[in-house]
Amino acid sequence: MTDHGDHALTPGADLPQLIPSDVCLACEVCCRFPERENFLRPYFTGSEIEKAVAAGAPPEWFPDSRGSRIRLRPHPEGEGYICPFFETTSHHCSIYSVRPLDCRLYPLSLMRDEQGQALVLGLDLKCPYVQDTQNAPQLGALARQVTLQLQTAEMREVLSEHPEIVGPYQDDVTSECVVGPLSRLTSSS
């Protein structure tokens, strides 16, 4: 994929922020991980790494400049690890405007189905916004929009080049919001 630094060329750059900021800023779920090598830590493509480094991230936070999961750091005020972009006092992301697709999708999660075959779009049940059933219509609309965006030729190319964006099946992520398996993506992966 050719990326000339234009933010609009970043897959998912135009995804809406559905969850109100006050919910996100009060959350105790995102950006925190029980172990250093957690498979849920954000994955950055090469172009996303370039943007993060341009925004001030040290290049050594990324094991592979072509694409990799971020290196986590110990949580300074608690147990486990945190994303190095997560500011524990404010709950803000220091690279929010250039955060990777992995983070832009949340509370949606691109993952394999339970059999490990098809790609599906799941919904993280740990998210406080998801737990409020009144938000189901907005979440369903977002899932449909994201499903269409994920099945574009550009996204198929990104996922072909970076299959690590797709996570394994997770018991605590429901696929009930899925608008069906992501068949165009499954057939190209």
Has residue 6 got a pLDDT over 70?
A: no
Q: What is the pLDDT of residues 81-127, one digit of tens each?
A: 999 999 999 999 999 989 999 899 888 888 888 888 888 888 888 88
Q: Are residues 173 and 116 in the same domain?
A: yes
What tokens appear for 67 in the block? Answer: 């694409």
Q: Looking at the domain assignment, is residue 174 inside a domain?
A: yes
Contact criterion met (CB below 8 Å) for 42 and 103? yes
> What domain count does the chain have?
2
Has residue 17 got a pLDDT over 50?
A: yes
Contact criterion met (CB below 8 Å) for 64 and 71? no
Domain C-terminal end among 101, 125, 145 = 101
Q: What is the spatial distance between Cα 181 and Cα 147, in angstroms, rounded to a whole number?
A: 9
Helices of type H across the chain: 21-26, 46-54, 101-105, 128-131, 136-150, 153-161, 183-188
Domain that holds residue 128: 107-189
Q: Are residues 81 and 95 in the same domain?
A: yes
Q: What is the pLDDT of residues 120-170, one digit of tens each?
A: 888 888 888 988 889 888 888 888 888 888 888 888 888 889 999 998 888
Q: Are residues 123 and 185 in the same domain?
A: yes
Q: Are residues 34 and 93 in the same domain?
A: yes
Q: Looking at the domain assignment, is residue 1 inside a domain?
A: no
Better-predicted residue by pLDDT, 70 or 157: 70
Q: Looking at the domain assignment, is residue 72 inside a domain?
A: yes
Domain C-terminal end among 35, 68, 101 = 101
